[in-house]
């Protein structure tokens, strides 16, 4: 069975994509919330699939290095890497951004992504797929920390995509519809969540773009 690494699998789109990929892939689920990962594992097993849970912090280089080494030792390679892990810093005027919020945004949204590309690329090889998700908030008022670091993350993925066109892996950047995730709830707390796309339905919509 092919393997799929999901970073940010605890909840939201990452959780939904793990379930969507489970019928055809062994899921390696990375997240910081153990309970949510265990619920994901139960749901995958109920569907006849298999998962390996990795309750890790992606900002810890040693943990990610060890995970990738373990993937190599057990499976040899990866078919897909889906990167949904993100930090949603509090909204505030740009001049009021706290150092701790910006530092955490850089650490998770940018620096960890940079390291993961370096660690995961050899596992994906020429034929694997890496998938990122755009959320273009750069330049919007009060979105300074999130908008700047998310835009930087996507710029990094775009560079990798351009560099890998001839050699692989295949790098894809998709734009999901708005969903009632915890990240969005922090940004739009009074929003009518019934008007948003269900993560499972959105995962089903995006799946063909990931697999083909």
Higher pLDDT, 116 or 212: 116
The half-sphere exposure of 123 on its side-chain side, counting CA atoms within 13 A, is: 27
Q: How many helices (H) and strands (E) does the chain have?
A: 8, 6
For the stretch 53-63, pLDDT in tens is 999 999 999 99
Could you tell me the CATH number of the domain that includes residue 127?
3.40.50.720
- Integer Cα distance of 78 and 21 in angstroms: 13
User: Domain for residue 46, yes or no?
Assistant: yes
User: Domain for residue 91, yes or no?
Assistant: yes
191: cis peptide before it, omega within 30°? Answer: no
User: Domain for residue 184, yes or no?
Assistant: yes
Give pLDDT, residue 171. 98
User: Domain for residue 212, yes or no?
Assistant: no
Give pLDDT, residue 150. 97
Give pLDDT, residue 208. 97
Domain tally, the chain: 1
Mean pLDDT, rounded, of the chain? 97
Give pLDDT, residue 202. 98
For the stretch 143-190, pLDDT in tens is 999 999 999 999 999 999 999 999 999 999 999 999 999 899 999 999
Give pLDDT, residue 174. 98
End-to-end CA distance of the chain: 17
- pTM for the complete prediction? 0.96
176 phi and psi angles, rounded to 5 deg: -70, 155
User: Domain for residue 48, yes or no?
Assistant: yes
Give pLDDT, residue 56. 97
How crowded is residue 36: how many other Cβ atoms within 10 Å of its Cβ? 18
What is the average pLDDT across 195-212? 97
- Integer Cα distance of 128 and 139 in angstroms: 33
For the stretch 4-43, pLDDT in tens is 999 999 999 999 999 999 999 999 999 999 999 999 999 9
Based on the number of CB atoms within 10 Å of its own CB, is 55 exposed (0-12), middle (13-18) or buried (19 or more)? Answer: middle
Residue 62, domain extent = 2-207
How crowded is residue 118: how many other Cβ atoms within 10 Å of its Cβ? 13
């Amino acid at each position: 069975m092919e393997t799929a690494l999901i970073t940010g699998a605890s909840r939201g789109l990452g959780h939904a994509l793990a379930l969507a990929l489970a019928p055809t892939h062994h899921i390696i689920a990375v997240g910081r919330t153990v309970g949510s990962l265990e619920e994901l594992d139960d749901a995958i097993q109920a569907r006849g699939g298999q998962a390996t849970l990795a309750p890790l912090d992606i900002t810890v280089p040693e943990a990610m290095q060890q995970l990738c080494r373990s993937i190599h030792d057990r499976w040899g390679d990866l078919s897909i890497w889906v990167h949904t892990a993100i930090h949603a810093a509090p909204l505030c005027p740009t001049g009021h951004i706290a150092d701790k919020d910006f530092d955490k945004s850089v650490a998770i949204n940018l620096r960890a992504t940079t390291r993961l590309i370096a660690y995961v690329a050899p596992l994906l090889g020429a034929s694997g797929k890496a998938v990122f998700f755009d959320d273009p908030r750069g330049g919007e008022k009060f979105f300074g920390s999130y908008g700047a670091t998310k835009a930087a993350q996507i710029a990094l993925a775009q560079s990798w995509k351009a560099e890998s066109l001839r050699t692989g892996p295949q790098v894809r950047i998709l734009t999901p519809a708005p969903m009632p995730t915890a990240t969005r709830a922090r940004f739009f707390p009074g929003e009518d969540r019934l008007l948003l796309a269900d993560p499972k339905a959105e995962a089903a919509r995006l799946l063909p773009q990931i697999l083909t």
